[in-house]
Amino acid sequence: MNKIKIIGEPVLREKSELITDIDEEIAKLAQDMGVIMQESNGIGLAAPQIGLSKRMFVTYAPNDKLRVFINPDIIMTSPETSAYEEGCLSIPGVYADVTRSSAVAIQAFNEKGKLFKLDADGILARVILHEYDHLQGKMFVDYLSEKKQQRILKKFRKK
């Protein structure tokens, strides 16, 4: 059973919609996403990756807890950047260095509808920025050279 959408699926390229009610259904969805992410050995999962164009993602960075971000807003990204190898459950088997801000401040609602602010750095900051991109219809391969992107896309077209 694999619920995860793979690159090439249009939903991964849509701008996700705001969640208007953080109700029991959304709380259940957050829980399900946490389970799917962990079963897939991921450290982040955004709703579009399971076919839902909603502004919501979960993270489980190393040495961190499971976090839920609903209707997130990036408040600040650091001018300092770092490069680190990224992968994505929607682009299986592909890993590449991506340069991103080293730190981020984000505001979001949790699954209980509570607004929170978070300052993150290290891997958590990276995961947050990667997952936030998914809500904009953006994927990490977009940061790679045109040539590399073509090679990756070709690989997934063949299947």
Q: Which of 17, 111, 131, 146 is catalytic?
A: 131
Nearest distance in Å: CB 7, Ni ion:
9
| 14 among known catalytic residues | no
Check: CB of residue 7 under 8 Å from CB of residue 20. Answer: no
Of all residues in this chain, which one has the CB nearest to Ni ion in the complex? 88
Q: Are 99 and 89 in contact (CB under 8 A)?
A: no
Q: Is 58 in the site for Ni ion (CB under 5 A)?
A: no
Residue 148's contacts (CB-CB under 8 Å, 6 or more residues apart) are 96, 141
Q: Which stretch binds Ni ion (CB under 5 A): 10-18, 80-88, 103-111, 121-129?
A: 80-88
Q: How many residues appear in the chain?
A: 159
Q: How far is the CB of 134 from Ni ion (least distance, A)?
A: 6
**Which is nearest to 44 in space by CA: 142, 126, 141, 157?**
126
Give residues 85-104 in contact with Ni ion (rule: CB under 5 A): 88
Residues tagged active-site: 131
